[in-house]
Structure 1
């Protein structure tokens, strides 16, 4: 199995910025997302959002714009076929 990686287009965002994500891993596999803002779990625990890697093992996409309620330090995880990657970033006012 190839390694899994997760990257975002930057490590610091401001309110209103839209994040861009890239995941690489095994081809044609469902992505499972978990996020922990300020060390707290959200309702996003192994959420799939109907997203999968393509035949080349890549998924790219954007999320919604960051809001005031999301300001803080984040650690986001993605699981692809049981393998895990993470990315740390900050959302500022």
Structure 2
């Protein structure tokens, strides 16, 4: 899928949701690019939502799961470890 068609899809989803009385939260816009070469993130054209740029992120949090641009479990495991440390330190 090209970035041009991706931008068209973003605009279409936004228009559809607006048509049924819903809106996308423009303040919570971020995108995750999964690609084998890290340098691709820097040469990739930007996307936008209602004229506001969508930021490229290395990690995103979705439904309490942290996903990174390599699709590894590392960020999710690190989050669980941090949470467990807080619980352990609070209980001792």
TM-score normalised by the chain length of structure 1 = 0.26
Q: Report the structure, 1 or 2, having the larger helix content.
A: 2
TM-score normalised by the chain length of structure 2 = 0.26
Q: Report the structure, 1 or 2, having the larger strand content.
A: 1
Of structures 1 and 2, the larger Rg is shown by 2
